[in-house]
Amino acid sequence: MKTVLAKVDEQAIRSAGEIIRQGGLVAFPTETVYGLGANAFDEKAVLSIFAAKGRPADNPLIVHIADKSGFEGIVKEIPEKAQKLIDRFMPGPLTVILKKTDKVSLHVTAGLDTVAVRMPSNKDALALIRAAGVPIAAPSANRSGLPSPTRAQHVFSDMDGRIEMILDGGACTFGLESTVVDMSGDIPVLLRPGAVTLEQLKETVGEVILSGGVLSGLKEGEVARSPGLKHKHYAPKSARVVLLRGSDKAIAEHINRFAADNSHKVGAIVKNCVTSLDKNVKICYIGNEDLQYAQSVFDALRALDDLNVDIIFCQAVEEGGIGLAIMNRLLRSAGFALLDV
């Protein structure tokens, strides 16, 4: 299959909408990461998403809508607290899990009786959903297990020849996938942290439970409330990832000690304030703010992997605000390897 890579314009959006209607796959930009979309009501098209990504069949997809009226027919009801979240954070980087109707195929929800719904704020994503005229089921547009794509080029390197089209809308604003909150029970459960923070959720709806698996591996026998939590995720193809927590100076010293013996090719993802790193270290500086870290962490993991480093040291951050989401992705990428230095 020839994959068309097109800069977003009216014509490209029109063709992309047509491809979705015909049962094809289109990767598109959102404010979080690039998504890989299919008509949510077309079972065959939905199944082809799993094939293109190599995604385990038990990991459900998020249904993307362009207007709040899109919830009708997809979810059984919107409880009061869920409505509060929708009013405050949609459109935006929030996904809510609600009880599904029969109209939503079990292939989309991986057999669950709930469905994940999100209304993105990215104007190109909204234009595509409107052009398609149907809700779009979409996971992140990476090969399963690899870091999520935040640029069209990342999608191209994972998906060339596997999907019909990639819409290039530039780099994603937040760079981390949406916050996922299960609103189908009495107490909201944060399944995946994102740019809508735990603090903001609590401010809006009161008590919110942080799901197991967010900052630690699932314990033996613990059931993943979000199937995505149990799968290998965000890991580079060959490099091992290790998180370092400590002062800027201690982090630099640890990396330099490791680089000094010359037996490993070493990469580092650190804030700009980590200075005096050895010249042999391949460094990705990610600014000094957590928002910048979020924006560029997946790009940095991919870039260092492309340089064939053996190990990537990543600077840990505080777990407040968007820091919780950054730590969740880094820890999973590192298989929960975290060193205090």
| Site of interaction with ligand AMP (CB under 6 A) | 59-60, 62, 97, 109, 112, 114-116, 139-140, 177, 180, 191-192, 226-228
Quick one: tokens of 84? 């509060």
Minimum distance between the CB of residue 150 and ligand AMP, rounded to whole angstroms? 13
Report CA-CA distances (Å) from 305 to 150, 276, 283, 284.
Answer: 15, 22, 12, 12
Q: Which residues pair with 139 in a beta bridge?
A: none
For the beta sheet containing 282-285, the strands, ordered from the edge strand earlier in sequence to the opposite edge, are 282-285, 266-270, 311-315, 240-245, 338-340
Q: CA 90, CA 247: separation in Å to the nearest integer?
A: 37
Question: Considering the rule CB under 5 A, would residue 140 count as an interface residue with Mg ion?
Answer: yes
Closest contact distance (angstroms) between CB of 155 and ligand AMP is: 13
Tokens of 300: 């940095």
Q: Which is nearer to ligand AMP, 185 or 320 (CB)?
A: 185
Q: 169 or 192, CB closer to ligand AMP?
A: 192
Q: Which stretch binds Mg ion (CB under 5 A): 135-143, 159-167, 248-256, 286-294?
A: 135-143
The structure tokens 């942290």 sit at: 193
Our CB check for Mg ion shows the closer of 122 and 140 to be 140
Residue number with the smallest Cβ distance to Mg ion: 140
What's the closest the beta carbon of residue 251 comes to ligand AMP, in angstroms? Answer: 29
Interface size with Mg ion, residues (CB under 5 A): 2
Residue 114 binds which entry of Mg ion, ligand AMP, none, with Cβ cut-offs from 5 to 8 Å by kind? ligand AMP
Minimum distance of Mg ion from residue 59's CB (angstroms): 8
Q: Least distance in Å: CB of 43 to Mg ion?
A: 21
Are 260 and 277 in contact, with CB atoms under 8 Å apart?
Answer: no
| Contact (Cβ atoms closer than 8 angstroms) between residue 234 and residue 329 | yes
Residue 95 binds Mg ion, judged by CB under 5 A: no
Between strands 35-39 and 179-182, the pairing is unpaired
Query: In whole angstroms, what is the distance from residue 50 CA to residue 64 CA?
Result: 17
Of 60 and 321, which has the nearer Cβ to ligand AMP?
Answer: 60
In the complex with ligand AMP, which residue's Cβ is closer, 40 or 255? 40
Cβ closest to ligand AMP, residue 21 vs residue 231: 231
Is 176 in contact with 214 (CB distance < 8 Å)? Answer: no
Cβ 126 to ligand AMP, closest distance in Å?
17
| Distance spanning both ends of the chain, measured CA to CA | 49
- Taking the C-alpha atoms of residue 49 and residue 41, their distance in angstroms, rounded to an integer, is 13
Interface residue list for Mg ion (CB under 5 A): 139-140
